[in-house]
Structure 1
Amino acid sequence: MSQIVPILKYEEGYRDEPFIDSLGYPTVGCGIKIGPKGASLTSYIFKVPRQVGELWMQTLVEGKIFAMQQRPLLISALNQCNDARSDILYSMAYQMGVEGLSGFSNTLAAIARGDFTSAADGMLNSLWARQTPARAKRHADVMRSGSYESYRGLI
């Protein structure tokens, strides 16, 4: 059974007031970008209750999954994944967009071959892993093992 919502809630955290994320984007809720990079927070004078933010996040996840299912390499990778590994790809798409995830062509090809060790190594050998090392390590561990063990006690 998918654990994507608890994973994203853990990885993204929750803030009901807009803030500037680590890349300079106005963001709210569970890591939801709400404006262009460099935009001032003075334009965002609202709060998003947790229940609304989590529903918004779930809707965004569903959109990412749909977009992923339109790309042959992502389809091939997802076809080799159990729920845990699929959730990792969904989390990566949520964090960096489907286009960003698609840039992991060697990693996705390894997943499509069922070579999860090479896929995990590829994930860790990336700019993404250098930018979010703890998240990348947890994700790579799940990709390697096919289990949620890395998240035990966290979600």
Structure 2
Amino acid sequence: MHYDEQRYAQQSPYTPTIPSLINVACEFIAAEEGFRDTPYHCSEGYPTIGYGQRIGKKNQSLTNFKFTLPEPAARAWLKHGIIQRLNELDSYSSLAAVFMEQNIPRQVVLLSMAYQLGVKGLSLFKNMLASLSIGDYVMAAEHALDSRWAKQTPERAQHHAHILQTGKLDGTGGVMDGQKN
């Protein structure tokens, strides 16, 4: 399904900032993932390239992937992946409802988690999502850290939990830091 910005914007309390959401999420995830122009195995054993883009089956040999990926192409894949996750949210109505209620920094964290774990994987964080839905950001952060994901990627999980709790992206300044806590 192609991302329909107008449809999403009509549903979002952040109508003027939808392009900003995608751009901020792209920068955030790019910084988290880091860029690699040649294939490598991610921590879970999947052939990966660019900004954490899976390109093969688990434990598949990297000899099957003899190419380099230019950074602009990797950035386009990343943006496409974010848009794809936004589209997939429609399949999970309760997750989509929680997502729509959050400020942009928290939405960026949820998109980052969906990028890493898939939207289905994100939907399994039921306690975290329930806490977000009632505005209990301290508990949301605690629930995010009480997971296999947090054990596998502890620094990322700590950073995400901090943003879930504070509602602020570190180092973004200006408009993102001051929006709807």
TM-score band by shorter chain is over 0.9
| TM superposition score normalised by structure 2 | 0.81
Q: Does 1:143 align with 2:143?
A: no
User: Matched residues in 2 for 1:79 and 1:64: separation?
Assistant: 14
State the secondary structure of the residue aligned to 2:102: coil
Identity over aligned residues, as a percent? 38
Q: Does the CA contact (< 8 Å) of 1:73 and 1:109 recur in 2?
A: no
- Which structure ranks higher in relative contact order (CA pairs < 8 Å, sequence separation ≥ 6)? 1
State the secondary structure of the residue aligned to 1:18: strand
Partner of 2:12: none
Equivalent residues, number: 152
Deviations 1:99-127 (A, max 9, x none): 11111011111111111111111001111
Deviations 1:22-63 (A, max 9, x none): 110000000000000010001000111000000011001100
Residue 67 (structure 1) shift: 0.3
Runs of 5+ unmatched residues, structure 2 = 1-19, 174-181
Partner of 1:128: 149
Runs of 5+ unmatched residues, structure 1 = none
Q: Does the CA contact (< 8 Å) of 1:27 and 1:35 recur in 2?
A: yes
State the secondary structure of the residue aligned to 1:138: helix
Partner of 1:30: 51
Residue 93 (structure 1) shift: 0.2
Partner of 1:54: 75
Superposed CA RMSD in Å reads 1.3
User: Matched residues in 2 for 1:120 and 1:72: separation?
Assistant: 22
User: Matched residues in 2 for 1:13 and 1:73: separation?
Assistant: 31
User: Matched residues in 2 for 1:30 and 1:127: separation?
Assistant: 22
Counterpart AA for 1:9: A
State the secondary structure of the residue aligned to 1:94: helix
User: Matched residues in 2 for 1:144 and 1:152: separation?
Assistant: 16
Q: Which consecutive aligned stretches of 4+ in structure 1 deviate over 4 angstroms post-superposition?
A: none
Larger Rg computed on CA atoms: 2
Partner of 2:29: 8
State the secondary structure of the residue aligned to 1:97: helix
